[in-house]
């Protein structure tokens, strides 16, 4: 089955840029979605179809996808961005949905 | 306002059964595919199952196939997950989630319930 690989943790100072990667075989040819999950809360969709944002998600969050890596970029990081972030895609071969292992973003 | 509210969780012994429900409101439930996703406390999200709009097509993760059954009652705006032959490793918070766009394959999950804890232990 398809595997999505994320770094367990990313740390960044306030005001800086955080980049969270999601690796997968030829992932650039697939649509990748990103979710933010804060402690004790349900996940929230923050980027879909590689780079689109749902209503209400700030422009500071953006996504890209090429080759074997999809990336969620958070610019001008704020304390409120501290959360776990998960990438997700649909595996066409198995007709299953796959999540990455998640990345904990720590704001220093 | 879209709302998804899970219920039916709790403590069950290994080998036992449990049925989760997810009550939907604020949208035309019968027009959307729905999913179940679970999360072991402290760990990541894992997709469990999905059902299409009219309940005719279902898919399961390999870890639950043959033990779990997803279903829906569009007249009651409710999604279900029947869980049989439960194992300790099924212990998790279970979320129901809405598939954003039935016309687009692989669309994201745009609304999630608050989650319900299922604990499998003797």
pLDDT above 90: residue B32 = yes
Judge: B61–A98 Cβ closer than 8 Å, yes or no: no
Subunit contact B108:A37, Cβ cutoff 8 A: no
Q: CB A42 to CB B35 under 8 A?
A: no
Q: For residue range A70-101, what is the model confidence (pLDDT) as tens digits?
A: 999 999 999 999 999 999 999 999 999 999 99
For B82-101, write each residue's pLDDT tens digit: 999 999 999 999 999 999 98
Contact A49 B108 (CB under 8 A): yes
pLDDT in tens, B65-76: 999 999 999 999
Q: Could you tell me whether strands A9-12 and A103-107 are parallel, antiparallel, or unpaired per DSSP bridges?
A: parallel
Band (B105; pLDDT cuts 50, 70, 90): confident
Residues of B in contact with A1 (CB under 8 A): 62
Answer yes or no: are the C-beta atoms of A23 and A89 closer than 8 Å: no
Distance CA A8, CA A101 (A): 8
Cα separation, A2 vs B56, whole angstroms: 25
Please give the pLDDT value at position A99.
98
Q: Where are the beta strands (DSSP E) in chain A?
A: 9-12, 18-23, 33-37, 44-47, 61-66, 69-74, 83-91, 96-99, 103-107
* Mean pLDDT, residues B103-122: 94
How many angstroms separate the CA atoms of A79 and A30, rounded?
Answer: 31
As a whole number, mean pLDDT of residues B25-54 equals 97
The predicted model gives B13-29 an average pLDDT of: 98
Instruction: Please say if the pLDDT value at position B103 is more than 90.
Output: no
| pLDDT tier at B16, thresholds 50, 70, 90 | very high
Residue B52's pLDDT band, with cuts at 50, 70 and 90, is very high
User: Smallest Cβ distance to B47: which of A41, A45, A98?
Assistant: A98
> What confidence tier does B114 reach under pLDDT thresholds 50, 70, 90?
very high
Instruction: Using 70 as the pLDDT threshold, list the residues of chain A that sit under it.
Output: none
Mutation choice for B interface testing from A72, A93, A97 by most B CBs within 10 A: A97
Which stretches of chain A sit within 8 Å of chain B by CB? 1, 30-31, 33, 35, 37, 41-45, 48-49, 54, 84, 86, 88-90, 92, 95-102
């Amino acid at each position: 089955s398809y595997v999505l690989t994320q770094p367990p943790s990313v740390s960044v100072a306030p005001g800086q840029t955080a980049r969270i990667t999601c690796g997968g075989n030829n992932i650039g040819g697939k649509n990748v979605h990103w979710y933010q999950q804060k402690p004790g809360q349900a996940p929230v969709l923050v980027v879909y179809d590689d780079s689109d944002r749902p209503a209400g998600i700030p422009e500071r969050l953006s996504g890209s996808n090429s080759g074997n890596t999809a990336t969620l970029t958070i610019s001008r990081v704020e304390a409120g961005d501290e959360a776990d972030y998960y990438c997700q895609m649909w595996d066409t071969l198995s007709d299953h949905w796959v999540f990455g292992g998640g990345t904990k973003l720590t704001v220093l | 306002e879209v709302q998804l509210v899970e219920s039916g969780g709790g403590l069950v012994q290994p080998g036992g059964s449990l049925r989760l429900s997810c009550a939907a409101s604020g949208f035309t439930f019968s027009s959307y595919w729905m999913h179940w996703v679970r999360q072991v406390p402290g760990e990541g999200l894992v997709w469990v199952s999905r059902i299409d709009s009219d309940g005719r097509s279902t898919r399961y993760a390999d870890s639950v196939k043959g033990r779990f059954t997803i279903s829906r009652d569009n007249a009651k705006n409710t999604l279900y997950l029947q869980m049989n032959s439960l194992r300790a490793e099924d212990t998790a918070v279970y979320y129901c989630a809405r598939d954003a766009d039935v016309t687009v394959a692989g669309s994201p999950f745009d609304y999630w319930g608050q989650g319900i804890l299922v604990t499998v232990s003797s």
